Amino acid sequence: MLELSGIDAFYGRSQALFGMSLSVEAGQVVSLMGRNGMGKTTTIRSIMGLIDARAGEIRFNGQSLTGLPPYRIAQMGLGLVPEGRQIFPNLTVRENLVATARKSTQKTTPGGHWDLQRVYDLFPRLSERQNSMGDQLSGGEQQMLAIGRALMTNPKLLLLDEATEGLAPLIRTEIWSCLTGLKAVGQAILVIDKNVDALTAICDRHFIVEKGHLVWSGNSTELRANPDIQHQYLGI
């Protein structure tokens, strides 16, 4: 489904990714892990065309994303939940959800078409707050809204950058439950987070990045069995 091969990415003259490679298959949940500032968000931004990859190739469902503007990449079926949520503060919850909505069909959307009611069923709190402005929501509610907004684009692949960062424990549990439910209906997900226990419970495969380099990949069983890797690259 998604394949990154040998991606080099820069901020100005500073290189941030060095030959980054990873893949996500249809229906898989895959994690991208590493300490802060190691290249995780840069990888997501490269996928979405927010920064240019100067070397290597990014392909999605067999089509190259190289050189495409972000809106075209989103239209191809990639839905982004960005770091910091980045909801529209001066729009209501409902307006946030419909602002970037994209119609789809059950043939192309895992688990069927996403609309307002389906998002409200997933996050009842958003239904209760649908007339509240974005800047009136708690951090947890904003993250629910950011996920719901991405789902309203009916993505084939959902990208979550820092899925539960800064959230209260109960809200984190609700987000992981949401992602587990999405996996159950076949939604492909690439997720960045620091909760190794939660990630190993839900993810099919893991990629660890260190200083812009891919340094390890494997499944959850292999990661749990390798405390040295967790300590060296994740600080656990």
Residue 24: strand, helix, or coil: strand
Q: Report H helices in the chain.
A: 40-47, 70-75, 93-99, 116-122, 124-128, 139-151, 169-184, 196-202, 220-224, 227-234
Q: Give the sign of the dihedral formed by CA 136, CA 194, CA 171, CA 147.
A: positive
CATH number at residue 167: 3.40.50.300
Q: How many domains does the chain have?
A: 1
> Can you give the pLDDT at residue 107?
56
Q: What is the pTM of this model?
A: 0.92
List residues bridging with 20 in a β-sheet: 7
The pLDDT score that the predictor gives to residue 236 is: 66
Residues in the chain: 236
pLDDT at 52: 85
pLDDT in tens, the chain (236 residues): 999 999 999 998 999 999 999 999 999 999 999 999 999 999 999 999 999 888 999 999 999 998 899 999 999 999 999 998 999 999 999 999 999 888 765 555 666 799 999 999 999 999 999 999 999 999 999 999 999 999 999 999 999 999 898 899 999 999 999 999 999 999 999 999 999 999 999 999 999 999 999 999 999 999 999 999 999 999 86
Which residues constitute the domain of residue 230? 2-234
DSSP annotation string for 188-228: EEEEE-S-HHHHHHH-SEEEEEETTEEEEEE-HHHHHT-HH
Q: What's the gap between Cα 87 and its chain centre? A: 15
DSSP state of 63: E
Q: Which of 188, 199, 146, 192 is nearest to 165 (CA)?
A: 192
pLDDT at 66: 85
